A and B are shown apart, each in its own frame.
Chain A
Amino acid sequence: MSKLIPVRGPYLPGYPRSLSPEEIKLLLKPSLTRRFSSSTLLAGSMLLSAATGCAQNTSVAAGPPAGQVPGQPGKPATNMSTLKNPKLAREVNLVTSEILDRRAGHGFDAFWSDYTSIIARRELEPNPPVKYPRIPICYGNSYNGLFDIDTAKQATRRLFALYGIDLERGVTIEGEGYEFEADGYNREHGVGFKLLMPEGAFGLMGGQEFEAQDPDDKLDREEMQRLASEISARRIQFFVADAARFPLMDGDQSTPLACYMASVVDYLNWIHGDRHIDLSDVLGKIPGGVPDRGLLELDGRFHPPLPGCDFETKEDLKHWTATKGEIALCDRWPGFQATSLQVTLQPGGEAVYTVPSGKKVLNAPSDDDQYSKKCSDATFGGKVFLADAEEAEVVVHLTLLGTEGRTWTFSKKLPRKVTVAAVEMRAEGPRLGEIKGLKISAESKGPIVLYADTFGVHPVKIEDVE
């Protein structure tokens, strides 16, 4: 027997069943909102307000007057802020804890919280900044993609509901120069939210794919500017955050979700008139806030880069030369920092690094030697992209150049048919003594692109020399 699932409860279309001829006439009568643009209407209302002595403060940074529910000017002041209303704060904590707990259950949960700092970024100028997590990405941890977007949307609806704002899904928001589908909208209060959806591949291996969206559904940057103007003009209130800025590391959903929900609560407090927002605070807890090199603090495994090999300034490029290839700084795969080295090599090409004058690099035991005192290793955290995905095996060589012509080469064979290959080049061998430089080369039929966060040798002693 076929399975029928009735739509239960009252369902009424959002348009009337009938209209009298008078109503039709009234409906089609040109109204001011149809005749004039929103900017003209805004200017007109300001003039009128000034003339009648009841002008309101409509400065860009301001939301609705303190204590007012958005879209309902004149309503008695409320106390809807977690900072002022302990009951509301408790309810918010209950909901957020429940959502975060539901995400718990494996060893990696909230793993990155202590190493996370906050990037406060305003998506819409009149709104408070969104707290985006800056989770240190390195080649040792797994950037799986983005956080659980569905859970984030559900959480937003629940948090709005705690403030008395029930959100309807799939409402198309249209205004002067913008049109998009809201993830939640309350018609009565004129407030809603939109999580900007990513497009394309996310994650280290591009493991999470997001389809291109219907242009009518999405809110692009140009439309956001217009929406911001409408918010400034207090015609609408919208919380907007960018889902692509909430990365998922090692399956740790809690960290990005906590940051996201804290942003929603900030916003809800803000539109209810509370301006005292501690932007570094996430749901009452200040995150670890390790600004850079998060792994440095973990267990001392960090290998200091060779001089000029952390690729954070263009000065570093002075120590590099390339034959049949190019070197440049770029912002792809920068590990813990902002930029990385990009090496493009044609077949037979090589890139060579020379230890800068004034520095002496000794491949010698040091106090932080954690592996072995009898041998050394070299590390290269990086990625190699093959230009031709169909190309057969490619071998990348990293050669340490010692004194008196001594060299130490270790090689990595990359699998076939890959466009991205993680290169973890760590090898052990006899110590070289003084290191004068290193060389990157490859055996390939086509060009390769290699990104390096740092180059390091272990154990190492770096000295300043005259």
Chain B
Amino acid sequence: MTKECNLRCRYCYQKRFSNDSLSVATAVETFHAAAESGVTSLALTFFGGEPLLRADAIFEIMAAARHLERSRGISVTAKISTNGILLDEGTLSRAQRWGIFVSLSIDGTEQAHNIGRVDRDGHGSYEAADRALRLLAAAGKPFAVYSVITPVNVKYLADSIAFLWNAGARIIINTVDYTADWTEEARDRLERQYHRTGRFYRRQLERGEFFHMDPFDSRIPAVTRPRELKRCQPGLSQVVVAPDGTIYGCLEFFYRRLMPVGTSSTWIDRRSVQHLVQTRRGLPVECGDCALEGRCNNRCACINLRGTDTPNRPPSSLCLCEQATLFAVDRTAEQLYRKRVPEFVLRNYSCSYHLLTGIERLLQGMEKNDEQAHTG
């Protein structure tokens, strides 16, 4: 939505900030081009910079997308990633009315958050993020929180997860900053912290609570349901629309203006996508020898570009952190399996679990809406 942001997070992969913004017209043009090309479903993600700097434009775009949904029968889902500073009751209410799923970027406890998420003057932004978190929890609709783990804040990881849970977050996504300098010591700390976090995750599952937490809910299915696992496929399963209407395979390709795959007026160019796919083929020999190949993030072109300037070679930090993560995740999963925790067994082995969970959450949401309608 914009390359401007009201924060200057120390680990942000966006290095240059500007007023470059995606116009409503370009977005709508892209929808129509996609629809003309036979696209039947769109999963929109509004990101930035800080997308809520352009809240009004987002809601206009959503209005156009919903119109397209009704007129052309294209299914549309949408989410937004925000740092929460501009999230107030009014904005949240509008977002929910348009069916936008909100993801809040918060790194956990005050110490964990304020180390990295700072404003232009270097001041921590925890207060605003915490306020947004409470607001989302109070609204009663599902939302996600995104946390970035760095060597500096990893020591707070387990405490942060417990903190976020206690504040009402039930979908927690952890992202490791692979561009940071992860030493062996920091890697060990990551494993220990994930191990502790795993215990917390396990306890919630044992109590039958709904708790989705990455990496557990992404890395365990990579073993138990590999076919259903959606791997990142730049240009094929996802694209980024730049403010000037150029379409790129993924974020880092957009930041680097690398290998565009289409435009907002023409949609995706197959040859360009093929070229991109071919460029991404091939992994280092070391990865071929690794027992964790297939479950590791080594194929993420964005991470690789950020870390090594090539889409096919992962940075050393990824290798260290992925091993730490996977070992900790597997230990947690093993304990859950041995304890025959129903939530774990069903979530990871039952074909109908996810369908039923979806229905369950839908019904719960409907009940909630009814309640609000009656009380409102």
Q: Is the CB of B313 within 8 A of A8?
A: no
For window 1-35 of A, CB contacts with B under 8 Å fall at: 1-11, 13-19, 21, 23-24, 27-28, 31, 34
Contact string, B332-359, partner A, CB cutoff 8 A, digits 1/0? Answer: 0111111110100110011000000000
For window 260-280 of A, CB contacts with B under 8 Å fall at: none
Q: Is the CB of A16 within 8 A of B316?
A: no
For window 186-242 of B, CB contacts with A under 8 Å fall at: 192, 195-196, 199, 220, 223-224
Say whether B364 faces chain A, with CB atoms less than 8 Å apart: no
Distance from A175 Cβ to chain B, minimum over Cβ atoms (Å): 12
Contact partner of B292 among A7, A27, A28, A216, CB < 8 A?
A7
Distance from A444 Cβ to chain B, minimum over Cβ atoms (Å): 38
Distance from A148 Cβ to chain B, minimum over Cβ atoms (Å): 19
Q: Is the CB of A2 within 8 A of B313?
A: yes
Distance from A422 Cβ to chain B, minimum over Cβ atoms (Å): 33
Q: Is the CB of B340 within 8 A of A27?
A: yes
* CA A390 to CA B307, docked complex, whole Å: 48
Q: Is the CB of A8 within 8 A of B337?
A: no
User: Taking A3-B316, A19-B349 as contacts, is the C-beta distance between A10 and B337 under 8 angstroms?
Assistant: no
When distances are taken between beta carbons in the complex, the residues of chain B under 8 Å from A34 are 340
Interface of B (DSSP majority class) = helix
When distances are taken between beta carbons in the complex, the residues of chain A under 8 Å from B196 are 214, 216
* CA A5 to CA B308, docked complex, whole Å: 16
* CA A216 to CA B192, docked complex, whole Å: 12
Distance from B223 Cβ to chain A, minimum over Cβ atoms (Å): 5
Contact partner of A27 among B195, B293, B320, B345, CB < 8 A?
B345
Say whether B289 faces chain A, with CB atoms less than 8 Å apart: yes
* CA A214 to CA B330, docked complex, whole Å: 19
When distances are taken between beta carbons in the complex, the residues of chain B under 8 Å from A1 are 308, 313
User: Taking A4-B316, A172-B335 as contacts, is the C-beta distance between A9 and B291 under 8 angstroms?
Assistant: yes
When distances are taken between beta carbons in the complex, the residues of chain A under 8 Å from B350 are 21, 24
* CA A310 to CA B323, docked complex, whole Å: 58
Q: Is the CB of B291 within 8 A of A7?
A: yes
Say whether A348 faces chain B, with CB atoms less than 8 Å apart: no
Residues of A within 8 A of B (CB-CB), count? 30
When distances are taken between beta carbons in the complex, the residues of chain A under 8 Å from B346 are 24, 28
Q: Is the CB of A5 within 8 A of B349?
A: no
Contact string, B138-174, partner A, CB cutoff 8 A, digits 1/0? Answer: 0000000000000000000010000000000000000
User: Taking A1-B313, A17-B223, A24-B346 as contacts, is the C-beta distance between A6 and B334 under 8 angstroms?
Assistant: no
Q: Is the CB of B316 within 8 A of A2?
A: yes
* CA A6 to CA B224, docked complex, whole Å: 22
Say whether A170 faces chain B, with CB atoms less than 8 Å apart: yes
User: Quick one: closest A residue to B200, CB to CB?
Assistant: A216
Distance from A301 Cβ to chain B, minimum over Cβ atoms (Å): 45
* CA A182 to CA B82, docked complex, whole Å: 42
User: Taking A17-B223, A28-B345 as contacts, is the C-beta distance between A7 and B323 under 8 angstroms?
Assistant: yes
Q: Is the CB of B345 within 8 A of A5?
A: no
Say whether B300 faces chain A, with CB atoms less than 8 Å apart: no
User: Quick one: closest A residue to B330, CB to CB?
Assistant: A13
Contact partner of B224 among A18, A31, A172, CB < 8 A?
A18
Contact partner of B333 among A6, A15, A170, CB < 8 A?
A15
User: Taking A2-B307, A18-B349, A24-B350 as contacts, is the C-beta distance between A8 and B340 under 8 angstroms?
Assistant: no
Distance from B308 Cβ to chain A, minimum over Cβ atoms (Å): 5
Q: Is the CB of B345 within 8 A of A2?
A: no
User: Quick one: closest A residue to B332, CB to CB?
Assistant: A172
* CA A170 to CA B334, docked complex, whole Å: 12
Distance from B293 Cβ to chain A, minimum over Cβ atoms (Å): 8
Distance from A11 Cβ to chain B, minimum over Cβ atoms (Å): 4
Q: Is the CB of B224 within 8 A of A17?
A: yes
Contact partner of A14 among B286, B337, B345, CB < 8 A?
B337
User: Taking A2-B315, A19-B349 as contacts, is the C-beta distance between A14 and B334 under 8 angstroms?
Assistant: yes
Q: Is the CB of B290 within 8 A of A6?
A: yes
Contact partner of A2 among B289, B290, B314, B333, CB < 8 A?
B314
When distances are taken between beta carbons in the complex, the residues of chain A under 8 Å from B289 are 6, 8
* CA A13 to CA B286, docked complex, whole Å: 20
* CA A214 to CA B319, docked complex, whole Å: 26
Contact string, B64-89, partner A, CB cutoff 8 A, digits 1/0? Answer: 00000000000000000000000000
* CA A8 to CA B292, docked complex, whole Å: 9
7 closest A-B pairs by beta carbon, nearest first, are A6-B290, A14-B334, A11-B291, A15-B337, A4-B286, A19-B349, A13-B330
13 additional A-B residue pairs with CB within 8 Å, beyond A3-B319, A4-B286: A4-B314, A4-B319, A6-B287, A6-B292, A6-B319, A10-B291, A13-B333, A14-B333, A14-B334, A15-B334, A16-B337, A28-B345, A172-B335
CB-defined A-B contacts under 8 Å, sample of 14? A4-B284, A6-B291, A6-B292, A10-B291, A11-B291, A13-B334, A17-B223, A17-B224, A24-B346, A24-B349, A27-B340, A28-B342, A28-B345, A174-B339
Interface residues of A (CB under 8 A from B): 1-11, 13-19, 21, 23-24, 27-28, 31, 34, 170, 172, 174, 214, 216
